[in-house]
Amino acid sequence: MLREMQACLSPGVYIKLLHLAATTGQLPILTPDGNPTGTFNALDTQQRIEIAKYLVNKIVPDAPRIELHADVDPLTLDQSEFASLPAAELLRIANAEPVADPATSPG
């Protein structure tokens, strides 16, 4: 189906349809000549994630990537890594409780 869409749609329209599919969870069903039929295929969460990854890789293939699997230690990041963090992670870092320094802590 994607090959048919690519053949009958301009790149801008194709990217817009994929963006809408990733954000809304619905992919429009088109006629063979590229006209919308008014019906949609529902996408599951994994399909939406894969479409979003595809778009990011096509549109900004050289963008820095940080895969977050655990909390990021802000002391180990440089400025470019901070710039590429998602907003939720930046908020988590900004709101984190300061860690006591064992060298200066009473005890």
Q: What residue ranges in 4-107 does DSSP mark as E strands?
A: 26-30, 36-42
Closest CA to 41 of 58, 61, 17: 17
Q: pLDDT: is 3 or 28 the higher one?
A: 28
Residue appearing with tokens 């801008």: 12
pLDDT at 72 over 90: no
Q: Residue 31: how many CA atoms within 13 Å on its side-chain side?
A: 5
Task: Quickly state the pLDDT bin for 107 (edges 50, 70, 90).
Answer: low
Give whole-number Cα distances, 106 to 58, 101, 103, in Å. 53, 10, 9
Q: Is the pTM of this model over 0.75?
A: no
For 5-59, the pLDDT digits (tens) are: 556 677 788 888 889 899 999 998 888 877 889 999 999 988 998 898 888 888 7
Residue appearing with tokens 């063979």: 32
